[in-house]
Amino acid sequence: MNLQEMIRPTVRNMPPSGIRKYFDLLNEMKDAISLGVGEPDFVTPWAIREAGIYSLERGHTHYSSNPGFIELRRQISRYVARKYNVEYDPKTEIIVTVGASEAIDIALRALAGPGDEVIIPEPSFVAYKGCTAFTGATPVIIELKEEDEFRLRPEQLEKALTERTKVVILPFPNNPTGAVMRADDQRKIVDVLKDRDVIIISDEIYAELTYSGKHVSFASYPEIRDKTILINGFSKAFAMTGWRIGYACGHPVLIEAMNKIHQYAIMCSPTTAQYAASEALSSCEDEVQAMVREYNRRRRVMVRGFREAGLSCFEPMGAFYVFPSIKSTGMTSDEFCEKLLMEEKVLTVPGTAFGACGEGYIRATYANSYENITEALRRIRRFVSRHRK
Amino acid sequence: MIIKTYKGVFIVSSKMEEILEILEKNARAGVEEIALMLDMSVEEVEAAIKKLEEDKVIVGYNTLINWDNSSKETVTALIELRVTPQRGQGFDKIAERIYRYPQVKACYLMSGSFDLTVIIEGKNMKEVALFVAEKLAPLEGVISTSTHFVLKKYKDDGVIFEENGKDDREALRL
Ligand SMILES: Cc1ncc(COP(=O)(O)O)c(C=O)c1O
C-alpha cells in the first residue's frame, strides 16, 4: 500500500510551508536575533499563572462542559460587552475554544464545503486559507494594498462577492501587516454585507493591541451582528499563547453548529487554562495596558528604524508587527530574508508566507526586548546600505 | 488630559507618566531614545525630565546592585524602632536624626505595632549590630529596637534577582 495515496488529495497537495528552510538555517546558528516570532515576549502575568496552579492544587483536573465553564462564559460576555459594545448570551452565544485557531477551524467547518467560496483578504494569518482548503471550499483572495494601508476597501469586497460566497473573513487588526480598519471604511463594508446571505468571521484577536484609539468590533454593528462570528482569545492581549484558549461569540444557531464539531473533535478547552483565563478577565486590566504601552513604544522605534534604514514602512496601528517594503533593494522577500539571516543573523519572515501579494514585503515583530530590537535594526541598516541598488 | 508646562514647553501628563515608567525600569535611557519611544521631540523630553526633577518626582538615578554577586561583603538588616513622638514635631525630628546616617539605606514611618522601619547596610553583622547599639538605641526618644538580618534577597525594587530571562519562544511562527 502506498501511504501517500491514502492521504486525502487536499491534504497531500497542500504545499509545505515556505518557511521551513529558515528553521534549518536557524538550527545551525547561534545568537541570531529573531523578529520572526508571532507571540508576545512577555510571560503570562503572575496572577494568571497562579490561578492556573491553584486550580491544579485543588484538583480541578476534569472536563468542563463542552462550550466551557458557564462562569467563564459569563465573564467573557461582560468583557465583550464592556470593551466592544455588543451583548452575547453566555448560555447560547459563546463557546470557549482551544485558541482562536480552533474557533477559526470549527467556524469554517460548520459553514463552508465543496462549492462554497470563502473570501480571504491577504496578506493575512495562514490558517484562514489552510482551514478553508480542508473544508473543500474555494478560497477567494482579496489583495490588500500598501497604498490603502492594507485596509480592506468596500469596492474590493463588492467585486469579490459572488452567488457562491458563503463566508467573508475579516482579519483586523491584521497579522502580518498591523493594519487596522477605519470607521468610515468599516461602515461601508457593513453596508456591502448587511443584505447578503453570507456569514462574517471577524478575527479580532489583536483587538486590545491597537494604538490609534479604541478598537471597533465588526460585531458591534447591529445590522450584521447576527451573521457575524466574533473570534477573540487570550493569546495576544494576556500573553497566554501556550495555554491554548480563545472563544467565539455569535448567534445561537451558529454557535450551536460550531459546538457540534467542537464536542466531538475537542470535548472542551483545557480546564486549567479556563481557570487561568477567568483570572485574566477579572484582575489583569492594568497589566494588559502596561504591555500595550510598551508595545507602542517599541512600535515607534521599529517603524523609525526601518525608515532610517531606507525602507518604506507604513505605520501599523495594531498587533505587534511592522510590514516594511523591501522593493527598493531589488530582492524578492525570500531572498531578502534569507540573506539577512545569513549575513546579519536577523530573522524576519517573507511577506509571501502570508499570501502571494506579500511579495516585496517582510514581517518583523516588535514583541521583543528593546535591546534586541535596536541591535536588529542596527544590523538591518548595515545590510540595506550594503545591498542598495 | 492634564497639561504640565516647563518654561513654555507643554507636556501632557500621560506622557510624563510614561517617561517615569521608562526611567523607573532603566535610569540610563537617553532623551533621544525616550523621545523616539514616545513620539515626542528631544526638547519636550528634556523639559519634562527637568520638570520632574524640579518637582522632586524624580529624586535620583540609582543603580540596583545585587551585592551578593559582587566580591564586596555586605549584610542588610531591617530594624523595627519604637519611638516617642516629640511635641510639635511628631516623628519627623527623630526620623531625621536617624536617616542622616549614611549607613541607613531607607527609613519609613509605619502604622501598626512599631513606628519606624530602618534599613541598614554594613560590612558584616557585627558592624550593623554595633551601629544599632551605639547609634540608634541610645537616641533620646527611642524606646526599643528589634533587628532582623536579611538572609537572601529574592527581589528588590521590583527586580527579581534570579530571573533567568531566557527567551524560550519558537524563533519562527506565523
Ligand atoms: C490573526 C491571528 N488569529 C489567530 C491566531 C491564533 O491565536 P490562538 O493562539 O488564540 O490560537 C493568530 C496567532 O498568531 C493570529 O495571528
Asked whether residue B158 carries a pLDDT value surpassing 70, the answer given is: yes
Question: Cβ of A354 under 8 Å from any chain B Cβ?
Answer: yes
Q: Where in chain A is the domain with CATH 3.40.640.10?
A: 46-283
Atom of ligand 1 nearest to the CA of A174: 1
Q: Which of A24, A131, A293 has the most B C-beta neighbours within 10 Å, making it the best mutation to test the interface with B?
A: A293
> Tens of pLDDT along B40-98?
999 999 999 999 999 999 999 999 888 888 888 899 999 999 999 888 888 999 999 99
The Cα A31–Cα B100 span in angstroms is 48
Q: Architecture of domain A3-44+286-387 in CATH? A: Alpha-Beta Complex (3.90)
Q: What is the CATH code for B3-54?
A: 1.10.10
Q: Answer yes or no: is the C-beta of A177 below 6 A from any ligand 1 atom.
A: no
How confident is the prediction for chain B on average, in pLDDT? Answer: 91
Taking the centre of ligand 1 as the mean of its atom positions, its distance from the CA of residue A101, in whole angstroms, is 6
Nearest CA in chain B to A352: B174
CA–CA distances in Å: residue A113 to residues A126, A164, A255? 19, 11, 18
Q: Answer yes or no: is the C-beta of A205 below 6 A from any ligand 1 atom.
A: yes
Question: Cβ of B151 under 8 Å from any chain A Cβ?
Answer: no
User: Residues 15-34, chain B: which have Cβ within 8 Å of A?
Assistant: 18, 21-22
Taking the centre of ligand 1 as the mean of its atom positions, its distance from the CA of residue A264, in whole angstroms, is 22
Asked whether residue B1 carries a pLDDT value surpassing 80, the answer given is: no
Q: Where in chain B is the domain with CATH 3.30.70.920?
A: 67-156
CATH class, domain A46-283, is alpha beta
User: Residues 9-48, chain A: which have Cβ within 8 Å of B?
Assistant: 17, 19, 22-23, 26, 32, 34, 36-39, 41
Contact B171 A37 (CB under 8 A): yes
> Tens of pLDDT along A103-142?
999 999 999 999 999 999 999 999 999 999 999 999 999 9
List of chain A residues whose C-beta atoms are within 8 Å of the C-beta of residue B21:
290, 293
Contact A39 B169 (CB under 8 A): yes
What is the pLDDT at residue B159? 87
ipTM of predicted assembly, 2 dp: 0.82
Q: Where in chain A is the domain with CATH 3.90.1150.10?
A: 3-44+286-387
Provide, rounded to the nearest whole percent, the portion of chain B with pLDDT above 70: 99
Lowest-confidence pick of A64-73, A303-312, B24-33, B153-162 = B153-162
Asked whether residue B2 carries a pLDDT value surpassing 80, the answer given is: no
> For every one of its 389 residues, what pLDDT tens digit does chain A have, with 9 covering 90 and above?
999 999 999 999 988 777 888 888 888 888 899 999 999 999 999 999 999 999 999 999 999 999 999 999 999 999 999 999 999 999 999 999 999 999 999 999 999 999 999 999 999 999 999 999 999 999 999 999 999 999 999 999 999 999 999 999 999 999 999 999 998 999 999 999 999 999 999 999 999 999 998 999 999 999 999 999 999 999 999 999 999 999 999 999 999 999 999 999 999 999 999 999 999 999 999 999 999 999 999 999 999 999 999 999 999 999 999 999 999 999 999 999 999 999 999 999 999 999 999 999 999 999 999 999 999 999 999 999 999 87
Residue type for position A152: L
Question: Cβ of A298 under 8 Å from any chain B Cβ?
Answer: yes
The CATH T-level fold of domain B67-156 is Alpha-Beta Plaits (3.30.70)
Q: Identify whether the C-beta of residue B120 lies closer than 8 Å to the C-beta of residue B77.
A: yes
Among A333, A298, A349, which residue's Cα sits nearest to residue A176?
Answer: A349
Q: Where in chain B is the domain with CATH 1.10.10?
A: 3-54
The Cα A150–Cα A140 span in angstroms is 17
What is the pLDDT at residue B172? 86
Asked whether residue B3 carries a pLDDT value surpassing 90, the answer given is: no
Q: Answer yes or no: is the C-beta of A241 below 6 A from any ligand 1 atom.
A: yes
Counted residue by residue, chain B has a size of 174
What is the pLDDT at residue A386? 94
Predicted model pTM? 0.92
Scanning chain A, the segments in alpha helix (DSSP H) are 3-6, 9-12, 20-27, 46-57, 70-84, 99-111, 127-135, 154-160, 183-193, 222-225, 252-265, 271-283, 285-308, 333-344, 370-387
Asked whether residue B5 carries a pLDDT value surpassing 80, the answer given is: no
